[in-house]
């Protein structure tokens, strides 16, 4: 009697030509890719960060220069990541590039910091901005109740998590719709500001480079605020395995997006300063609302709604991209296997999305908005600098490696050096906040050696953890990826 041949799911997919295995689908074409980058970058930053940039740069003129330089620097970084994204076809962004170029320890530390505080801090910042822009107009000119702001923020986070757990396609379509809304919001700010400037309203630009309040040690913090507003240009690299024709669409989407964003950001800040003095901008917790009350009185009540939707888009983009890093890390064995699983019907990385939710809620309840930015920025930019350093190392070690998109060497070197300089100066400028961020980053080293490298986990703990993982797998209806997508 002949031996019965067992046909696996992967073999059946290949034989039948069907796409019915458990895996993440390639559904992100060029327009969703551009929308994904713009929608993630343009969020709360441009409506809140101007205060932080001006506070730490000391003058209107220098703050505009910081905004322009942050745009150029972010574009350089985005081009570097375009090369990385087309050289390594895996999703995961920073984690994957560090793993492929510098080894497992830096990659694990990036994964560790993403889960412990970078993603919760960034998501908390955006969600608090969402809550503030929803609630504050209802109480003007009085300050909004902090408890209500936090409650609305938590509701916003919950909505985004639900969308990303339900459907990748729904999350993608939501991002496209919110991107068009936020571009409309920026246009609504830029047009009246530029029109007023063209009519000669230039009083607030006189003595624009007054350096009386300028302090060199605070300049890195100004760049942190500006770079935070541009942050998100790397999120498309988190979902490389879901991008249609990544060799073409990743570089093209990044270039188009960064040109649009940089131009819009500089023009928005010019519009702000046309209608407000520097002191007035520093006194405002919701810059766009203050601007609208002066330049857009007939539609001023609608501007906070547009801004809040913009923040929601950035939050959605973050929760779409960041869980893919945890997903890939778990797939590589650097994170519990449960988080590399996909919902068998929804085809979403459900456990990885849900993992981030509790920490974000805790940080929303406790966090202070500007401290959150500075706290997360140190580790975030340190690892971005390491990733581009890894690009240089990989070019040197493997010159024959296929690179469909290659960035000029000078761009990579300039971006890497500037990032390391900003990270180093920030330790001097704000040693407590950035020092705490550095300490939390280094705390991942013993975790790596105890749980990944040598696996010094007591047998009873391992048994209990495996049992809990199995029960969660059954409860969440998730399974391991069955089809290789890279």
What φ, ψ does residue 2 adopt, rounded to 5°? -70, 150
* Helix, strand, or coil (residue 40): helix
Type and span of the H or E element at 72: helix 60-87
Residue 426 banded pLDDT, cuts 50, 70, 90? confident
**pLDDT of 171 above 50:** yes
Instruction: Using CB atoms within 10 Å of the CB of residue 402, give its burial: 0 to 12 exposed, 13 to 18 middle, 19+ buried.
Output: exposed
414 pLDDT tier (thresholds 50, 70, 90): very high
Q: Which two tokens stand for residue 122?
A: 């960034």
pLDDT tens digits for range 42-58: 876 777 778 888 888 87
Query: From CA 322, how far away is CA 315, in angstroms rounded?
Result: 11
Query: Given the DSSP bridges, would you call strands 341-343 and 478-480 parallel, antiparallel or unpaired?
Result: antiparallel
Residue with the bigger pLDDT between 23 and 372: it is 23
Where would I find the H helices in 367-430?
Answer: 369-397, 409-429
* Nearest alpha-carbon partner for 180 in 333, 31, 293, 351: 31
Structural domains of the chain, with CATH: 25-458 (1.20.1740.10)
Burial of 472 (0-12, 13-18, 19+ CB in 10 A): middle
Question: What is the pLDDT, as a whole number, of residue 347?
Answer: 84
pLDDT category of residue 7 using cuts at 50, 70 and 90: very low
Torsion of CA 242, 248, 253, 256, to 10 degrees: 180
- Name the pTM for this structure: 0.84
Residue in 264, 290, 304 with CA at minimum distance from that of residue 129: 304
**Mean pLDDT on 426-446:** 82
- pLDDT of 486 reads 67
Query: Are 393 and 100 contacting, i.e. CB atoms less than 8 angstroms apart?
Result: no
HSE of 288 in the Cβ direction (CA atoms, 13 Å)? 34
pLDDT of 181 higher than 70? yes
Alpha-carbon distance of 178 to 176, in angstroms, equals 6
CA-to-CA distance for 120 and 6, rounded, in angstroms? Answer: 45
Tokens of 36: 């994904």
CA of residue 348 relative to chain centroid, distance: 19
The pLDDT tens digits of the residues spanning 443-476 come to: 999 999 988 887 777 788 888 888 888 898 888 8
pLDDT tens-digit profile of 138-154?
877 777 788 898 999 99
């Amino acid at each position: 009697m002949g031996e019965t041949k067992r046909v696996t799911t992967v073999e059946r997919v290949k034989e039948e030509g069907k796409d019915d295995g458990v895996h993440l689908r390639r559904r992100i074409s060029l327009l969703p890719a551009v929308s994904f980058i713009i929608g993630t970058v343009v969020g709360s930053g441009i409506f809140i960060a101007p205060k932080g940039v001006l506070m730490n740069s000391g003058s209107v003129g220098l703050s505009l220069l910081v905004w322009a330089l942050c745009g150029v620097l972010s574009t350089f970084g985005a081009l570097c990541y375009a090369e990385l994204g087309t050289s390594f076809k895996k999703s995961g962004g920073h984690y994957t590039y560090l793993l492929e170029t510098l080894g497992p320890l830096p990659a694990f530390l990036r994964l560790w910091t993403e889960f412990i505080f970078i993603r919760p801090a960034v998501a908390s910042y955006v969600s608090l901005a969402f809550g503030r822009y929803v609630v504050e107009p209802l109480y003007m000119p009085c300050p909004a109740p902090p408890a209500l702001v936090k409650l609305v923020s938590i509701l916003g986070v919950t909505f985004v998590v639900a969308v990303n757990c339900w459907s990748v396609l729904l999350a993608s379509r939501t991002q496209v719709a919110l991107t068009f809304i936020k571009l409309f919001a920026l246009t609504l700010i830029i047009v009246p500001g530029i029109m007023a400037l063209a009519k000669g309203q230039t009083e607030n630009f006189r003595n624009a480079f007054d350096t009386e309040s300028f302090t060199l040690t605070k300049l890195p913090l100004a760049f942190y605020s500006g770079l935070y507003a541009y942050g998100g240009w790397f999120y498309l690299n988190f979902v490389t395995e879901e991008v249609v024709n990544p060799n073409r669409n990743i570089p093209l989407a990044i270039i188009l997006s960064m040109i649009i964003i940089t131009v819009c950001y500089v023009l928005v800040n010019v519009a702000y300063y046309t209608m407000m003095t520097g002191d007035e901008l520093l006194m405002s917790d919701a810059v766009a609302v203050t601007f609208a009350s002066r330049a857009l009185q007939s539609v001023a009540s609608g501007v906070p709604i547009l801004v809040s939707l913009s923040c929601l888009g950035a939050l959605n983009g973050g929760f779409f991209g960041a869980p893919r890093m945890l997903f890939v890390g778990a797939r590589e064995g650097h994170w519990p296997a449960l988080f590399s699983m996909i919902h068998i019907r929804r085809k979403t990385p459900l456990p990885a999305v849900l993992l981030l939710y509790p920490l974000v809620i805790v940080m929303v309840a406790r966090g202070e908005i500007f401290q959150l930015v500075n706290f997360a920025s140190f580790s975030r930019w340190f690892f971005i600098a390491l990733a581009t350093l890894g690009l240089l190392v990989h070019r040197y070690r493997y010159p024959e490696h296929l690179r469909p998109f290659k960035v000029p060497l000078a761009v990579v070197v300039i971006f890497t050096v500037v990032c390391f300089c900003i990270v180093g100066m920030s330790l001097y400028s704000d040693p407590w906040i950035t020092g705490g961020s550095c300490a939390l980053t280094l705390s991942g080293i013993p975790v790596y050696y105890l749980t990944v490298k040598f696996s010094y986990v007591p047998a009873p703990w391992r048994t209990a953890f495996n049992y809990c993982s199995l029960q969660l797998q059954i409860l969440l209806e998730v399974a391991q990826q069955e089809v290789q997508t890279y």
